[in-house]
Structure 1
């Protein structure tokens, strides 16, 4: 029999989503200490749901738990960027290619792009960007492929948050998003996949030039 994952208690889920939101929107920065008592007070809960939330976030790669230093937001460096974006480059364009070929609806991607254009702040724009990319691959027809991309989604967003804080490049990326979506809506699966690959590669190259691979590609 297939085991059913144990649901996360509501208070733990509430704290988990709250901490994740703060990390991915830059309110909590890489290397910053996450103190259980302080977080418990901020969220109005006991330390138990905070502790469980931090364990889950450690599993997704957003925080690091150290016996001596405690819990901190994961640091972002060129090695991390290369690892995460290598996975995206290998899987995300192919997932989009399959989604287009099977005629999947990309309405969610269009909506996310509209929300990004209308975003009032960096946090809202960042979340819309995440949803845009997920909407491109989630309908690929292979649930396992979608889950594999979901597993690196938070880490990719952390890399992006750090890069945007240093050098905002929203307008350029928005233009690239529009071109990717245009090609996909036109039914050009290979063109959309190629544009997405170039989009992902150029971002990490600009943000972390030292992350360039041995073969000269990101």
Structure 2
């Protein structure tokens, strides 16, 4: 619209200039016609014809300029319409770009919040991992200690088993010796009983013998 207004103003200025130039030319012609000492009638007529020709040429030029101006104005209007359409397209693109930018900013804020939350979770898991690693180290140390204790107890159990086996062997040997001693004791007791019986019999015989001797 600014270009159309500027073109109309230019057209008005050109039209006014041509009208003033035409009036000035007429005044000059009248002066030259009425000023007889300066030129003859033939010269005035010739100049008048020349001036009329120039005016006609100027009129043709003016008409051509008006046609050119109208064509330029029409082209300018068409260009303005195209520019207006392009401007509307640009505004539409700008609105879409602005909406897309706002959506991207919202998505960026959401991603930033999620990233912060994930970082906090990572730190929490890292602390838990450190705690579990420390607990695992303690459990491994305890397992090693228990394993050493189990190994020691296993050796002690093996020693006890060996001692038990040795004690069982000694007990069996002692039981055999006890049985042998018991058999020997029984035999000696029988022998002692036999000896006692024989001693009693011998004494009785001796007593009987002495009695019979004294009677004689």
TM-score by length of 1: 0.17
- Higher RCO structure, 1 or 2 (CA under 8 Å, sep 6+): 1
Q: If the length of structure 2 is used for normalisation, what is the TM-score?
A: 0.17
Larger radius of gyration: 2
